[in-house]
A and B are shown apart, each in its own frame.
Chain A
Amino acid sequence: MTTTKEFEFPLMDGTLDGMTHLVSDRAIEGDTVLLNMGPQHPSTHGVLRLLLELDGETVITCIPDVGYLHTGIEKNMEAKTYIKAEVMSDRLDYLNNMGNNLVYCLAIEKLTGLDVPERAQVIRVILVELQRISSHLVWLGTHALDLAAMSVFLYCFRERELILDIFEMISGQRMMTTFIRPGGLWRDVPVEFEAAVRQFIEALPERIQQYEKMLTKNPLFIRRTKGLGVMTPEDALRWGVTGPMLRASGIAHDLRKAQPYAGYEQYDFDIPTHTDGDTYARYLVRMEEMRQSLRIVRQALDKLPYGPVRSNNRKYVPPPRSELSTSMEAVIHHFKLWTDGFTPPKGSVYMAVESPRGELGVYLESDGGPKPYRIHWRTPSFTNLQTLPMLAKGNLVADLVALIGTADIVLGDVDR
Chain B
Amino acid sequence: MDETLQSLVEQLKERFDASTYSYADEISLVIGPERMIEACRLLRDEHSFEMLVMESAVDYWPELKPRFHVILRLRSLKHNLILGIRVPLEGNFPTMPTLETVYPNANWFERELWDMFGIRSLGHSDLRRIVMPHDWEGHPLRKDFPLGYEEPQFTFNFDEIDLRKPYAKESQ
* Contact A1/B146 with A18-B128, A21-B126, A111-B24 known, Cβ cut-off 8 Å: yes
Residues on A lying within 8 angstroms of B by beta carbon are 1-4, 6-7, 9, 11-15, 18-19, 21-22, 66-67, 70, 72, 74-76, 79, 110-111, 113, 237-240, 251, 253, 258-259, 347-350, 352, 359, 361, 363, 365, 373-374, 376, 378, 382-383, 386, 415-416
How long is the Cα–Cα vector from A352 to B82 in the complex, in angstroms? Answer: 11
Q: Count B interface residues, CB 8 Å.
A: 49
Distance in Å from the Cβ of B10 to the closest Cβ of chain A? 21
Interface contact B77-A66, CB-CB below 8 Å: no
Main secondary structure on A side of the interface with B: mixed
Contact assessment for B138 and A240 in the assembled complex, using a CB-CB cutoff below 8 Å: no
Bound-complex Cα distance A350 to B83 (A)? 10
Bound-state Cα–Cα, A253 to B77, Å: 7
Contact residues in A for B134 (Cβ distance below 8 Å): 12-15, 18
Known: A238-B103, A350-B84. A382 touches B108 (CB 8 A): yes
B54, B59, B135, B147: the one contacting A13 at CB < 8 Å is: B135
Knowing A1-B138, A3-B137, A240-B53, the reply to whether A363 touches B103 (Cβ < 8 A) is no
Contacts of A14 in B (CB 8 A): 128-129, 133-135
A4 contacts B56, C-beta separation under 8 Å: no
Chain B binding surface, main DSSP class: loop
Instruction: Give the residues in chain B near A6, CB-CB below 8 Å.
Output: 93
In angstroms, how far is the closest chain A Cβ from the Cβ of B3? 16
- A258 B53 Cβ-Cβ under 8 A: no
**Across the two chains, which residue of chain B brings its CB closest to A390?**
B104
A361 touching B24 in the complex, CB below 8 Å, given contacts A11-B128, A14-B128, A240-B105: no
Chain B residues lying within 8 Å of A74, measured Cβ to Cβ, are 116, 141
> From residue A63, how far is it (CB to closest CB) to chain B in Å?
9
Docked pose: A304 CA to B71 CA in angstroms: 39
Considering the complex, give the chain B residue whose CB is closest to the CB of A350.
B73
Chain A residues with CB below 8 A from B120, complex form: 4, 7
